[in-house]
Each structure stands twice: as C-alpha cells, then as structure tokens.
Amino acid sequence: MLKTSFFKSIHVKFVLIYILLILLAMQIIGLYFSEQLEETLRNNFNDSVRDRMEIIEFSVREEMIRNRTEEDLTIEQSLRSVLTNFDSGDINEIRVVDNRYRILGTSLGENQSLVGQRSTDDQIRRSIIGETLLEQTYVDGSLEERVWVRTLPITAVGGEMLGTLYVKAEVENVYDQMDTINSILAGGTAIALVITAVLGILVAQTISRPIADMRRQAQAMAKGNFSRKVRVYSEDEIGQLARAFNHLTNRLQESQQSTESERRKLASVLANMTDGVLSTDRRGRIILINEPALQLLNVSRETVINRPVTTVLGLDEAYTFEDLIDMRDAITLDISSHDQATLLRTTFSVIQKETGFVNGLIAVLHDNTEQEKIDIERREFVANVSHELRTPLTTMRSYLEALADGAWQDPDLAPNFLNVTQTETERMIRLVNDLLKLSKMDSSEADLSREMVEFGVFFNRIIDRFEMSKSQNVSFERKVPKSQYFVEIDTDKLTQVIDNIISNALKYSPEGGKVRFSVREKEGELLVSISDEGMGIPKENVERIFDRFYRVDRARSRAMGGTGLGLAISKEMINAHGGKIWAESRYGKGTSIYFTLPYEIDDGGEWD
C-alpha cells in the first residue's frame, strides 16, 4: 500500500473540519450568552422595581394608618408628597388604591384628576380581592412600548387589608439594550458563517466528490450494474479506498453471477418439489421456506421468517433445537384443526461445515395424512370384518357341536339348531355380498345400467310395496309432487338404496309411528327425504352413520340382522349417480335421510 504524504492525508482534512465545528460552537455559545444576558437584565430591572416598591409600600402604609387631626394634611396630600419623592425615570406611574377601589394618590401629575375616583383596573381589583401580588407585562397602546405592571397589597399589622400599590414601569430600555447586543452578535455570527461556509465548501469538495462517486457506484451495484468504475481523484486514503472499491466491484460481480446461478437452481428445485422444505440458521431461526411448506403449515411467509423452527412446527414443548440436530428418525407432526386432519412426516438434516461447525438445519415436510387415514381405515376394516364374521361363526360352531354331540336326535332341538345355523349362514352371505358390492364401487367396476324414469312414479311404487307388506302399526305420509321429474338412474341400485333407507325407518319406528316421504326441487336438483319418528341418533354420531360397519346401537342393530354396510353402500351408489346423501336427527325425536339426484323437467315431449 502506498504511503500517503502529510498534506494529502485525510487526517489534515478532518482537523480542518474540527476547527470549523469549533467555530460553529463559538457561535452557539454567543447565542446562549445573549439569551442569558437578556434574562439577567430583565431580572435586575424587575428586582430594582420590587425593592423600591417595598420602600414605597412601607411609607404609604404608615400614611394610611396614621391618626390625623384637622391641622394635618389630608391623606391624599400626604400620599402625593410621598409618591412624588419616589418617582424616577424607569417608573412611569405609582398609584395608591384603598380597599374600596378609590384612588388615593398618583405620582403622575397629569393623572391627579383621578384622585378620589374609583379604579376600574381589573388587575387592581383582583389584587385587593385576592390579597395577592400580581405582575404583568404588556404593550401600552398609547406609548407603543412594553411596560411592566406590578400590584402589591397593603396590609396593616393585624392583617387588615388597606388597599394596593400599583406601579407601572417602562421595560422597553431593557429590550433596546438587548437589540443592540443582538445586532452585534448577529453581525459577528454572519461573518463567522460566511467564513465557515467558504472553508467548508473548499474542504468538503475534496472529500465529498469521491465519496459521492462511490455512493453512485454502490447504488448502481445494488441495481445489478457492475460495469461502471469509481474515478480516483487523489492518492490519499480516499483515493486508495476508491481503488479498493473498484476491486471489490469486480469480485462482487463474479460472486453475484455464481450466486445467481446457484439461486436459480435452488429456486427451481424448491418450486417443483411437492414436499415442504424449510431451512434455519445456526440459531434455529427459519431463513428459507418454500411454498408447499407454507401451504402444509397454513402460515404466511412473513409470520415464520426469523422465528424458531421449534415454535413454527409446534415442537418447543417436546424438543429443543439441539435435540433436532441430533434427530435421526422422522417425526410425525399433528397439526389438525377442527375442520381438517393433517399429519406431516418430518425429517431433519444438519448443515455443517467441513470443520463440523453447524450452520443450520433443513426440515422436509411430507403430507402423510391420506396414508395414515388409509392405514387406520384398513385396520378398522379388518377388525370390523373379523368381528362380524366371528359372531355368526361362533354361533354356528356352538350349534353344530351340539348337533354332533347328539342333539340331532332330539326332534325338538334339532330343527331349531338347524334353523339358527341357516340364519347365521344367510347373514354371512349377506355380509360377503355387501363387501363385494363395496369392493366393486371402490374399484369403479360397478357399471350403472341407466335409464330415464319419472321419479314420482318410481318412488311411489317402492313406497306402495312397503306399505302393503309392512307388519308394524306404522303409517306412511307422502308429499310427492304431481309435476313430472325425469331422472337417469340405475333402477335396481337406486331401488336398493331406497329399500335400505325405508327398511331402517320401519325397523326403528315405534308402534303407531309415522314415516314421511318427501320429494321437492331445490337448487337445480331433486331433493328426496325419508323421515321416521324413532329413537333418533345422538348429534356426535350423525356424520358417522355412513361409515362402514358403524352402528349407533351395535347390540340392537345386530339383533335386527344388520351388517352395518347398508348406508355405506347407499352413499357409494348415490355418489355414483352424481348426487349427495346426508342425515339429520334429533335424539329421541327421529331421523331424516336426505339425498339429491340430478333431474330433467318434463318439457311436454313423449317418453316411452
């Protein structure tokens, strides 16, 4: 590095700047001195007037409390003599007012006509009433000068209020003196500012010009322009700084090109990943997160950046950042809400330097909700099928063992045992058939043999069949419109759906109950409802009655021969027809099953 000469050194330039700052400080001190001098002069003037007022107040009080004879002068004459002796150039007027607001005397000859009259001055009245000392400065309109008015209460030895002493003094001389001093200070300040400005411009140019060039270069670099260079004006430290800045520009250009290339690669990888990825710094705070991770965690980028990863992932109670660094196995995060269940399989990878220093952590989030749900449903399905098959098989084995032990020879027991065995066999056949139907629906192998039918006729035919064959004392109530609604359906499968719903309604209806049937148009679809007056379903179980093998009352349902698959099959079939099915129930009041179907209104054409 080249050695800088003394006169080119930036230190000399800084010394000049300090000298100018000292000069400026002197001007500030001068202003402060002027302000303090003004306050001192004003205080001295006020103190001088106050001291004289105390002397006047003593003389006036003595005159006011003196016992007078006929030969003595009147109080007005005595006070006039007293006030005349105390009159001076800076006091314009002195008045004495008694406690009844009557002017007893004044030092101003032209105001002698006011003696004996009542005073209307507000300050005098307030001083007498409040027995307080009052001071006020204002501009006299007649003199166009500032005056200082002071009222001093006059009290006897016993505390009796005798009146007040009113003094008006001219303070304009104080301000005239300060104006003269301020003019001198202003002139000196102006000369100092001119000298400071000239020297500042000369010195600042040698420093500010290269710095301004570097500033413009820095702004260009911030916009990605690395082509321009900083001009070198001198060989001092600033000149060397300019050369170093140009060298830095070249290195930054190379680094920026390399970083931009890597950034594009990383952005492309992160953008096209289906899994969520987030990265932290060495303190465990998130510095990078891709869009899939934001969607999986249901957060915004602004709320997670620079926050601890353990807090964002909800692990701060179970793990620390150091625990995650040593973590080798994946963690399942349960971030489920009231509306949606979400399980994330999270794996952690440490970012380390070659020296082993930990720079941060990378977390990969994979949505494992569906897989976990499938595993749970598979386990529940296997358990339910095993349970449903074990019950009839256990019963059959018990009865067959009894028959093998000789019960077949008993004419009373044998037919009953064989009948039970046949009933359980038929129940298993129904269960297997229902499972096969569901399997076909799940694998989309169930082809629908659609045909166009008038739904009112089709629905009434099914209701008539149940009304003729029902064994309970249950009445039917229909609200099927006379308008013709044509639906394209698989009549066999939809008949199975309606049969299943009506069978459940009859099964759970009490004696003397009523089953209601309704068909109406709603929002471009055909809404069908079948309601009973049975025991109903608890609110927390309503949404689950369409699950496979789900029963609200398992013991009663199994006793009535149900497999727990009827409504599940109905749901799959309604969905295959493009409709929806749901239930509404009030516990102890009854249950209503609703389903919708797309339809076409009769436009007057002919249908075969």
pLDDT of residue 557: 47
Pick from 209, 190, 210: nearest CA to 198 = 190
Helix (H) or strand (E) holding 148: strand 145-155
**Planar angle of CA 182, 187, 192, nearest 5 degrees:** 120
**Planar angle of CA 330, 336, 341, nearest 5 degrees:** 95
Helix (H) or strand (E) holding 55: helix 10-65
Q: Tell me the pLDDT tens digit for each residue of 524-553.
A: 889 999 999 888 888 777 777 877 666 665
pLDDT of residue 608: 44
Bridge-based pairing of strands 358-367 and 276-280 is antiparallel
pLDDT of residue 596: 92
Q: How far apart are CA 408 and CA 494, in angstroms?
A: 44
pLDDT of residue 397: 80
Q: Tell me the pLDDT tens digit for each residue of 432-477.
A: 766 666 666 665 555 677 889 998 899 998 888 888 877 778 889 9
Pick from 153, 171, 172, 176: nearest CA to 163 = 153
Output the six-digit token pair for 570. 């109905």
Average pLDDT, the chain: 77
- Chain centroid to CA 25: 49
Please write down the long-range contacts of 537-540, taking CB distance under 8 Å and 24 or more positions apart. Answer: 537/583, 537/585, 537/587, 537/591, 538/587, 539/585, 539/587
pLDDT of residue 518: 92
Q: How far apart are CA 278 and CA 107, in angstroms?
A: 93
- Do you know the residue count of the chain? 608
In the chain, which residues have pLDDT < 70?
1-16, 18-20, 22, 68-72, 85-89, 141-143, 189, 193-194, 196-206, 208, 338-339, 372, 374-389, 391, 427, 430-431, 433-447, 548-564, 601-608
CB 105 within 8 A of CB 84: no
Output the six-digit token pair for 376. 């749970």
pLDDT of residue 136: 82
Q: How far apart are CA 108 and CA 95, in angstroms?
A: 9
